[in-house]
Amino acid sequence: MAAVGTMDVPPNTVVMGYPTKPTYGRAEYHRKKKEWESKK
């Protein structure tokens, strides 16, 4: 599934959901991604 966002997003910001909302910054995303991958 994919979506197209039509709003301006600040640099280094992760957005998700419908409607699209800023979730967290890129640095926090990378930290969380490492946590998720280590649980596999």
pLDDT tens, residue by residue, 6-30: 788 889 999 888 888 889 999 999 9
What pTM was computed for the model? 0.59
Closest CA to 16 of 27, 1, 35: 1
pLDDT category of residue 40 using cuts at 50, 70 and 90:
confident
CA distance 14 to 30: 10
